[in-house]
Amino acid sequence: MRKLYTALLRLALPLILLRLWWRGRREPGYREGVPERLGHYGLDAPPKLLWVHAVSVGEARAAAPLVRALAQALPDHRVLVTCTTAAGRETVKQVYGETVLAAYLPFDFPEPVQRFLEHFRPRLGVLMETEVWPNLLAGCAQNGVPVLLANARMSEKSARGYALWSALTRPAFAVLAAVCAQSAADAERLRALGARDVEVTGNLKFDVYPDAAQVAAGRAWRAALGRPILLLASTREGEEKLLLDALPAWDGKLLVVVVPRHPQRFEEVAQRVQSRRTRTEMPGHGDKFHLGDTMGEMPFYFGACDVAVIGGSFMPLGGQNLIEALAVGAPVVAGPSMFNFADATRLAVEAGAALQASDGGSAIRTALGLIADQSRRRRMGEAGKKLCEAHRGATEKHLKRGLSLIKS
């Protein structure tokens, strides 16, 4: 089955490269590093290297506690962080600076994968969350590279999809040396798909501490503005219109800050707002909508808001990370589609730190109700911070498991 998969990928390669070039119109990073995606690297490989793959922005940030723990535990090793998206590559630079090596992961063809593994010779591979690639894992097995699936999650929807192609995916899951699952439900689904040595270790995202300086700057910004702030955080295509159109007539005070999930959509969303962060320090008194068109500043926006509505949850996309908002102490309202963060959402709702709405209109009404209720917002904010504190500790468990896989 893997041979057929590889043959189909080879046929699709011209289209894959064309898509990279097309996406590079808005994000130039997609036109850079193409040789790396084909397994050709100019980076010098250190003698001892640990490899962590974080596909995009969320995974790159979630991996930070583990990357730093690995670097501290093995100071004679360098860490290579690979990604797939241009935004992910930029996030690696923002989060890690020069402390790690950064590169694109090769396409899932046997030859680029082999060149990647021969060039870097990693002693351990760590794949974040759901990055299971058949040829990559087969290559790791052939080259004696143990692979840990870290912070692993598997929704019911994703599990059904993998099960449909079990002849291809089951051998890939079986190759994994170990799996650190976010929850018992994730662990059960991963075992059913063929993964072995699965351990429930919790969610690494709870171990990510928000940047204190950014949070303080956000709170100072809100105080200077002197207006209630509703944050639409990490919105996806179609959600801005859905949520903004659900707002009642403007009361002359509320400021809605919109932060799209993907930077290539900043200009599109800019058509609906009166001001944007990159062009004005403070919104005008008559501004209703303000665009958060910066990367890496979510702690600022969560610190600035009275209530955060979580994007990606009003389309069937599985939601975006609500844990960062909880850690800052922002009351959270999520939509119905949070399957990528199902366990964290359940815990937050049960703790009284978040509310889950059935649709966009309900979410806006709920959020505005919270803005009018300061005492409830305060209780939700404290509940969110306590929840994050109670669920920290996944990094230590991941580190112990990862170190056990490295051959002496």
The verdict on whether 382 is a catalytic residue reads no
SS3 per-residue string spanning the chain: CHHHHHHHHHHHHHHHHHHHHHHCCCCHHHHCCHHHHCCCCCCCCCCCEEEEECCCHHHHHHCHHHHHHHHHHCCCCEEEEEECCHHHHHHHHHHHCCCCEEEECCCCCHHHHHHHHHHHCCCEEEEECCCCCHHHHHHHHHCCCCEEEEEECCCHHHHHHHHHCHHHHHHHHHHCCEEEECCHHHHHHHHHCCCCCEEECCCHHHHCCCCHHHHHHHHHHHHHHCCCEEEEEEECCCHHHHHHCCCCCCCCCCEEEEEECCHHHHHHHHCCCCEECCCCCCCCCCCCEEECCCCCCHHHHHHHCCEEEECCCCCCCCCCCCHHHHHHCCCEEECCCCHHHHHHHHHHHHHCCEEECCCHHHHHHHHHHHHCCHHHHHHHHHHHHHHHHHCCCHHHHHHHHHHHHCCC
Take residue 12 and report the two structure tokens written for it: 């699709």
Catalytic residue of the set 59, 90, 131, 297: 59
Take residue 199 and report the two structure tokens written for it: 């351990």
Q: What are phi and psi of 210, to 5 degrees?
A: -65, 145
- Length in residues, the chain: 408
Among 95, 96, 390, 113, which residue's Cα sits nearest to residue 104? 113
Q: How many CB atoms lie within 10 A of CB 72?
A: 9
Cross-sheet strand order for the sheet of 124-128: 101-104, 78-83, 49-53, 124-128, 147-152, 178-181, 198-200
Residue that the structure tokens 């680029």 belong to: 112
* Residues annotated as catalytic (active site), given as ranges: 59
